[in-house]
Amino acid sequence: MVTLWPSPAKLNLFLYITGRRPDGYHHLQTLFQFLDYGDTIAITLRDDGKLRLITPVPGVADDDNLIVRAARLLRDAARQAGTLADGAGADLGVDKKLPMGGGLGGGSSNAATVLVALNHLWRTGFSLDELAALGLRLGADVPVFVHGHAAFAEGVGERLTPVSPPEKWYLVAHPGISIPTPVIFKDPDLPRNSPVRSIETLLKCEFNNDCEVIARKRFREVDALLSWLLEYAPSRLTGTGACVFAEFDTESAARQVLEQAPEWLQGFVACGVNISPLHRAISGANERW
């Protein structure tokens, strides 16, 4: 039987770079919130121990796909812990809606959904903290998707404090390009000296993204998109881009702007949510089981 699991997008409502580590990684302060919109992961359990990706990505080897890597990581950890049934395997697929290189966390969300859903389906018994520790080995953004609550993140994004920002409506727009994260973080002009502030202080300030100035400088498509959206509502980059979002109090206001969008704009309207749709699905599944 195929089971379907949400793999939601995230927004960085703000993102500040407070320093650079000797290993090249950056210290961040950022605010993650989920959207009620994203990919869908399909899982069919197998009893022959095999893990098979049924929706391969052109140009990406299956063994390098985050979905497969997450499933293998969980399987190996559960085998070591002695909590995996003999023959446990799965067919894994994804209905992809989120653009790659868009700053919406699609790959990290996919990995987290596989970890959380297979932990439930295989009954491996790992806690969310244990799953998040596994997920951190796949990417800095995976733990917030595993924990499933809007969060203030520090460090490289792995130190999480649950928060509940207002759940607003967003017009999320993609300029049709992909921005590799290293392009932004390696730019010599990237601001790296934002002051470290408490979440209480940051929530009272106007939200900004330190990566935005570099994305606008290096990618004219992002600059054009932000310039257009800023005529209608507060707008900014999410993550390192390429997606940008405009903030609205109502769904109808967001949709009215989307209807006026130029043909080159690719966008959707979604609501910000502080509890991940994945965790709502897991809660429902636990009630049924």
* Distance from C-alpha of 80 to C-alpha of 113, rounded to nearest angstrom: 21
Q: What is the pLDDT of residue 158?
A: 81
Q: What is the pLDDT of residue 288?
A: 58
Which tokens belong to 190?
Answer: 């990237």
* Distance from C-alpha of 96 to C-alpha of 117, rounded to nearest angstrom: 17
Q: What is the pLDDT of residue 228?
A: 96
Q: What is the pLDDT of residue 187?
A: 96
Q: What is the pTM of this model?
A: 0.95
Q: What is the pLDDT of residue 156?
A: 84
pLDDT, block means (10 residues), the chain with 289 residues? 97 97 91 98 97 92 94 98 96 94 94 98 98 95 96 91 97 94 94 96 96 97 96 96 96 97 92 98 75
Q: Which residue from 192, 175, 159, 185 is spatially nearest to 240, judged by alpha carbons?
A: 185
* Distance from C-alpha of 175 to C-alpha of 82, rounded to nearest angstrom: 47
Neighbours of 206 (CB within 10 A): 8
- Catalogue the active-site residues: 10, 141
Q: What is the pLDDT of residue 287?
A: 62
Q: What is the pLDDT of residue 143?
A: 95
CATH 3.90.79.10 fits 1-289, yes or no: no
Q: Which residue from 141, 138, 143, 133 is spatially nearest to 81, judged by alpha carbons?
A: 133
Sorted by where each begins, the domain ranges of the chain are: 1-289
